[in-house]
Amino acid sequence: MKSSGRDNKGRFTKNYVHPRKGMNTVKCICKLCGKEFYPKDFVKRSYCSKDCYYKNVLQNPNIKNKRNTGKKRTFEQRLKISGKNHYNWKGGISGKIRRLRNHVEWKEWRTKIFKRDKYTCQLCGQKGIYLHPHHFKSNTDFPEIRFDPNNGITICQNCHYLIHYSIEFKNSDWYIRKGAD
């Protein structure tokens, strides 16, 4: 009978040889100390240890952590892709929205909606979770009814995501009926 390399308690014995040892191994040479090593995860590495990596980075200021470096852009290049020139520019509305949501009227409208709906998501019926107030008609397109309690509903975070990103939900009878009111 072939030995599994484990004792009766399931622990590895002293002479245990891993079944994959010698198979699919990648031989690497450390860039700093020149030592040959075989990585445990069979992925080619440049350094034998973290110590060698950090010593090399400290010795050579030209080597930087790849995760923290991006393409260096000139001032002119940055101007071309910022502000009004950026593909995602929406007319500088983020400051307006931030001011609106800190406004007293907004907070009162939000509280009225939550109290009317008894702090319960009106779509899934959950209580005791993080709630969002949602406008049936957009507050940017219809500023005159922005603070009207009849234009709002209490919904949870998951349902709010469905409302904005689910095509099936946008085509549902409930959503079409409420949006048409």
Is residue 87 situated within a structural domain?
Answer: no
Whether 88 is in a domain gets the answer no
Provide the whole-model pTM: 0.48
In a domain, residue 55? The reply is yes
Neighbours of 172 (CB within 10 A): 13
Domain count, the chain: 2
| 162/132 Cα distance (integer angstroms) | 13
CB 45 within 8 A of CB 39: yes
Say yes or no: 105 and 37 in one domain.
no
**CA pair distance 144, 157, nearest whole angstrom:** 26
Tens-digit pLDDT profile for the chain (181 aa)? 445 566 777 776 666 555 555 555 677 888 888 988 877 766 678 888 888 887 877 777 666 555 445 677 788 888 888 888 887 777 777 777 778 888 899 899 999 999 999 999 988 888 888 899 998 888 778 889 889 999 899 999 888 888 887 766 666 666 655 654 4
CA gap 120, 159 in Å, rounded = 12
Q: Is residue 24 part of a domain?
A: yes
Residue 75 lies in a domain: no
Q: Is residue 61 part of a domain?
A: yes
Using CB atoms within 10 A of its CB, is residue 40 exposed (0-12), middle (13-18) or buried (19+)? exposed
Structural domain for 28, as ranges: 10-66
Domain boundary among 50, 66, 82: 66
Q: Locate 108 and state its tokens.
A: 């009162």
Around 33, how many Cα atoms within 13 Å sit in the side-chain half-sphere?
A: 12
User: Residue with structure tokens 């622990």?
Assistant: 11
